[in-house]
Structure 1
Amino acid sequence: MVFSFSENETHFGLKHRKIFFVIPFLYAVHGRAQEDSAKIISYEDRVMIRATADTNIESYTFYTEGNQKETVLSINNKIKTSVSVDYRIISATLSFAPKFISSNKYNPLKGNSAYTDFTVRFFPKRLTQTLYYKNVKGFYVENMQDILPGWQKNKDAYIQFPDLRVQTFGGSTAYALNKDFSVKSIYTQGEWQTKSRGSWTPFLDYDYTIFSDTIAGQKSKETQINIGANMGYFYNWVIAGKVNIAPYIAAGLGAKFSSFRDTLEDGTKGMRENTQYLTVRFGSGLHIGYNTDRFLFGGKMIFNANAYSQKKNYTVENSNYFGLVYVGYRFAPPKVVKSNYDKLQKKIPIL
């Protein structure tokens, strides 16, 4: 059985790259509780190092109205590791998919994928500011059995998009309305909340994304700007002083501004397509953690999704769900770290 990319492009009515160019919903919903010695313990005077492993599963779903078949695009990397360093109000995280893990290695049936991101967070009082850069390359069509009858798993190759690359520059701004609630205690573990509390947390998220691909000598590039306004509710249930269980739920609306253009093999550029969409977002999660003044560990389950309609006949969805485990250690800052931070703080008082 022969599968033709060109026939699918015509059937979809848009370039196939356009169909899958959906920005993963940024799940950064953060806040910073105002320090209260009786209700919130702050560890900002210590350096904290955390190591994290998670199942980073990103899927892009396309389906037409009245058609039960879906097309799901995924990356081959299934395990992501992160290393974070926190001090005072700054938290920095580097994440990547190491190739020494078997599920991240090259698979001849699925191809090769690459994943990296770098995130910096600032926690001035109850405000949380997040900035990040994310780079993902190499995708394959996950649900081949729905697309090609007779296709056999672990035997036949998946349709691959090895040159499809997604680069995202983004951020979020959040504010915890309850001064006795610390989102930081359940997100970066930079604080510990001693009493059970909940809080509404409004947040804005925004990103600029570049999608690029090359197929049969034809290059394509799409840029997108996403802006969203969201409201989340977090609850931190503290058990026996050292254990907490913290669920949250969030929803919002946003706008997507997209610009797409093809570049032919001879270098000729096609016509530019500019479109705007209304997006719908949803997120939820659950955190379970154990904390002492020096050691900490725990796990999380997180789900985020967004969707928007195009040309009234199909909807593009993106979902991101994963579980993670982390372990961390806090210690007194080296003199050189403390002195340099103090000098920087004199120049930038907000730090």
Structure 2
Amino acid sequence: MGLRALFTFFSIAFSSFPNIAQNITDSVDVNQPKYKRIYPNVITARVFFINTSNTLKVKDRSSNLSFNLEPNKQDRIGVSIAFRGLNASFSFAPDFLGENKDNENSKLFNLNFRTFLGKHFMQTFDLFSQKGFYIKNNEVNQYFPKTKNFKIGGATSYIFNEHFSFKAITSQDEKQLKSTGSFIPNITYFYSKFNLKNNSPLNEVNSSYYSFDIAFAPSYYYNYVPSKNLLLSAGVSAGIGLNHSKSRDESPLTTLLTELSFRTSATYDMNNLYCGLHYSYLSLNHNADSASQVIDNIPFFNIFVGYRFKAPKQIINTAESINEKLKLKN
């Protein structure tokens, strides 16, 4: 996974921050309620290492036969920027990370986007585009370099407890001061398209499959603050919904969908400098056709280091104008 290069990368990043990490908080508009501290006029930026993928497991419902469609995984580094609940990130796969060196002709593009509307609503958006998959089971391990997968979707969530800070977990433009949790119901939805293709003249394969998932998934998250600068967070959700899918050789099928996900994270916050890690796992389970079942898995691992900067006045004034028009509060 290129850990030596990864640790070198973050050591350089850490060493460049302490000299400028002092006395900036005093110049920033900071609210200090009992449960969380809000930084309304700062831009939070981070650099990160990420490992994520979208893997499918296909099982025959009448036997124990199954196989995995695993992408040629890549380690990635990237940057993200957040301001007043708007959070966007971009990452790429450099060749100097060890796991990327044998990924000939494979590609992975992943885009994450998150925004908060008012005190309670949260909207997330995810996009995966992958090329290059292994088909694996106990007997087969074959690489299909031209096989592609595309997935787009997200979730609309409602955070019941306004004292609970999801921003303290994801974007660090808030800081949780006191331990608390919240019930968070979610509506999740994904569109996926999978093209299984291999141009081998001896064993030509060319098939396609698409699906649409929608589910209602209640969840509970808890932020634990054991000390002034440390935040530990965990959450789990379980949901039920519908999947509509179709393959080239089968009629369209609508079946029951189950969803299970969990997230855990740790963040260390020192003045305006922060660092941490996240791990999450999403699993969607449904029937793909009359004979098979699909388990759609999205693991996500992230290590990051970041810094809070005072936002320019022009950006602050624009945000205030938009809030007034939409009647939103920070």
TM-score by length of 2: 0.79
CA shift in 2, pair 1:203/1:242, >3 Å: same
CA distance in 1, matches of 2:277, 2:172: 12
Q: Name the residue aligned to 1:260.
A: 247
C-alpha displacement of 1:181: 1.0
- Residue of structure 2 aligned with 1:319, choices 293, 297, 311: 297
CA shift in 2, pair 1:347/1:219, >3 Å: farther
CA shift in 2, pair 1:66/1:222, >3 Å: closer
Letter matched to residue 171 of structure 1: G
Q: For 2:102, what is the secondary structure of its paired residue? A: coil
Identity score, percent: 25
CA shift in 2, pair 1:287/1:48, >3 Å: same
Query: Are the equivalent residues in 1 in contact too, given 2:108–2:129 (CA < 8 A)?
Result: yes
Q: Does 2:215 correspond to 1:228?
A: yes
Q: Name the residue aligned to 1:251.
A: 238
Q: Name the residue aligned to 1:123.
A: 116
CA distance in 2, matches of 1:36, 1:70: 54
Q: Does 2:164 correspond to 1:181?
A: yes
Q: CA RMSD in A?
A: 2.6
C-alpha displacement of 1:259: 3.2
Alignment of 1:1-351 (within 5 A): 37-65=33-61, 67-107=63-103, 112-124=105-117, 125-143=119-137, 146-148=138-140, 158-216=141-199, 219-261=206-248, 273-311=251-289, 313-342=291-320, 345=323, 350=328
Query: Are the equivalent residues in 2 in contact too, given 1:71–1:147 (CA < 8 A)?
Result: no
Q: For 2:193, what is the secondary structure of its paired residue? A: strand
- Greater CA drift, 307-316 or 122-131: 307-316
CA distance in 2, matches of 1:310, 1:260: 8
What count of residue pairs does the alignment treat as equivalent?
Answer: 294
Q: For 2:315, what is the secondary structure of its paired residue? A: helix
Letter matched to residue 63 of structure 1: K
C-alpha displacement of 1:66: 6.0
Query: Are the equivalent residues in 2 in contact too, given 1:63–1:316 (CA < 8 A)?
Result: yes
Q: Name the residue aligned to 2:15.
A: none
CA distance in 1, matches of 2:186, 2:110: 21
CA distance in 2, matches of 1:325, 1:331: 20
C-alpha displacement of 1:328: 0.8
Tell me the alpha carbon deviations over residues 296-332 of structure 1, each in whole angstroms, 9 at most, x when there is no partner.
1111222221211345643221223343211110011
Query: Are the equivalent residues in 2 in contact too, given 1:76–1:112 (CA < 8 A)?
Result: no
CA distance in 1, matches of 2:42, 2:166: 18
TM-score by length of 1: 0.75
Higher strand share: 2
Query: Are the equivalent residues in 2 in contact too, given 1:164–1:213 (CA < 8 A)?
Result: yes
Query: Are the equivalent residues in 1 in contact too, given 2:50–2:301 (CA < 8 A)?
Result: yes
Letter matched to residue 141 of structure 1: I
C-alpha displacement of 1:257: 1.2
CA distance in 1, matches of 2:210, 2:58: 19
Q: Name the residue aligned to 1:11.
A: none
CA distance in 1, matches of 2:68, 2:32: 47
- Greater CA drift, 208-217 or 275-284: 208-217
C-alpha displacement of 1:223: 3.2
Q: For 2:252, what is the secondary structure of its paired residue? A: strand
CA distance in 2, matches of 1:222, 1:235: 38
CA distance in 2, matches of 1:346, 1:176: 22
Query: Are the equivalent residues in 2 in contact too, given 1:77–1:97 (CA < 8 A)?
Result: no
CA shift in 2, pair 1:341/1:219, >3 Å: farther
Find runs of 4+ consecutive structure 1 residues off by over 6 angstroms: none
C-alpha displacement of 1:58: 3.8
